[in-house]
Structure 1
């Protein structure tokens, strides 16, 4: 797997084909998304999937919708009322068994691929809008810790930041475990990811540390499985201003021996400004990266927290509210 110019492993990400510009929508068009096609495309390898095309519907085609039934939501064509639930579910099961990706971006509100807010109909009336598409629901159930979003939610800077951070972290772990690794390699991997895990889920961060402490005694397959589960669980936790401040202060504390009083004060003031919602997270992080140059601060310099994904994606630049 190739690295990009920031030294990052390229994630492999499944995506609804229409979001990349493929003409697979029911009306013969596409739903090309600018962030996916113009920005993220530079740093990830896409795995385009259109379940409706894969079961042979073709394009253009009848639109689909979810309909209420005693056995659960059914996926039907809006005109002829053909029930496609079984075909889509079978395809989802096949895809789920072989899916080897670091994340998935689904088409928003699609009755097959929607992750949130898909309307459910009773007759011609939408009775609620809290459903998942039939295909997406089965993929997510089979891979509950897989980073998943839809293109609409990726317009939110916090959700975008979290999703992108997770897919790059998953890609790094997949690259490690896919090679000829040894327990010491996992220990080194965990050491570089400590602050990133702490910023998401302190409890899972501690559990990951306990697993790594047994790296020399656990069976290698068992070690990989346990660590992957806890690593993915930790990253699924939500970051917050408080958790970021905690990590930033941890980093400063570990560098205090090589910082003069002026630089320590500068860092403290910038962290306080971030905590008060006056500057973006990128400001204290950039300052920390600057002071962590050189071998004396190698542990902090190498933390993935300071560069969880390529700088070109311009994440962490929003001011918290």
Structure 2
């Protein structure tokens, strides 16, 4: 593992409190996540939060749901007593949380929750029937104030691609906050882009090209404006899960830094591993480890520093499943 990744311990990540095993759900129960508590807690400093409990709804409590018309921001009301409207209270506690948690690198959410659901939360019409879906009230506040913050539902992390994508984004944002945000300068911005180039390429090749052109002209802009634009576009691009096709493209670009230094047989072995990955016969970890092995011997400092080769701790085994 690279020194950069090895130093990334205790990254602050928010999490719905019920996923930590806290008995804060409306019925007094919880939704303890073994993966979060037994795996991610080794790497992340998980910070639990329950907006409903913080809003004073108590445990146990009457369930709440989203109610509204398509195209309008839904209200949050009781399922039994429709006069119980907690929208404003949830807004207040969400804003208070945001004001105190700008250090977070991500947030893990509870699926389907009217406060913490990331998407596809049912919104009910006046007739009491679901009419469409939206994000939970707390999540909408997070998106408004933290548009670059990686968000994911715990249940969706059962999908290996979505799990790897979320954790990749958390580590990328951590890199940004520690290196660029902590020492803002055009130099740090360019250095960040330089080491993230092939990770960006693997997720969104158009954004890779666009941001390269943008940075070529960025010195003419106010630094704060350039940083804000870059981070928004970068994190949006990373939120697009990489595919076998886009990973293969990035792998071939990395391979290009080695082909002159290797003998024909070794080059064929590397190309065969990349092709086996493209065809779905092996996981991404196979060509990555082979490339990393030879880059340590023959690669330039530039290519060895690429976060694409090591975007998160190897021990998590995320690339052994995609």
In the superposition, the TM-score normalised over structure 1's length comes to 0.90
2:74 aligned with 1:95: no
Aligned to 2:23: 23
Checking the alignment, whether the CA contact within 8 Å between 1:4 and 1:43 is kept in structure 2 is no
Q: 1:150 to 1:185 in 2, by over 3 A?
A: same
Q: Encode CA deviations 1:166-189: one digit per residue, 9 max, x unaligned.
A: 111011001112323443233222
Checking the alignment, whether the CA contact within 8 Å between 1:26 and 1:59 is kept in structure 2 is yes
Checking the alignment, whether the CA contact within 8 Å between 2:123 and 2:131 is kept in structure 1 is yes
Aligned to 1:63: 63
Aligned to 1:163: 166
Checking the alignment, whether the CA contact within 8 Å between 1:66 and 1:73 is kept in structure 2 is yes
Count of residues in Structure 1 that have an aligned counterpart in Structure 2: 317
2:189 aligned with 1:189: no
Checking the alignment, whether the CA contact within 8 Å between 1:89 and 1:135 is kept in structure 2 is yes
Checking the alignment, whether the CA contact within 8 Å between 1:105 and 1:149 is kept in structure 2 is yes
Checking the alignment, whether the CA contact within 8 Å between 2:5 and 2:311 is kept in structure 1 is no
Q: Encode CA deviations 1:245-265: one digit per residue, 9 max, x unaligned.
A: 111001111211211111110
Aligned to 2:259: 256
Aligned to 1:134: 137
Q: 1:216 to 1:84 in 2, by over 3 A?
A: closer
- CA distance in 1 between partners of 2:167 and 2:183 (Å): 26
- CA distance in 1 between partners of 2:112 and 2:31 (Å): 12
Q: 1:226 to 1:272 in 2, by over 3 A?
A: same
SS of 2:320's partner is coil
SS of 1:257's partner is coil
Aligned to 1:73: 74
Q: Which deviates the most, 174-183 or 277-286?
A: 174-183
SS of 2:256's partner is helix
- CA distance in 1 between partners of 2:67 and 2:283 (Å): 44
Of the three residues 211, 221, 224, the one matched with 2:224 is 221
Aligned CA-pair RMSD? 2.4
Question: Which consecutive unaligned segments of at least 5 residues does structure 1 have?
Answer: none
In the superposition, the TM-score normalised over structure 2's length comes to 0.89
- CA distance in 2 between partners of 1:309 and 1:200 (Å): 15
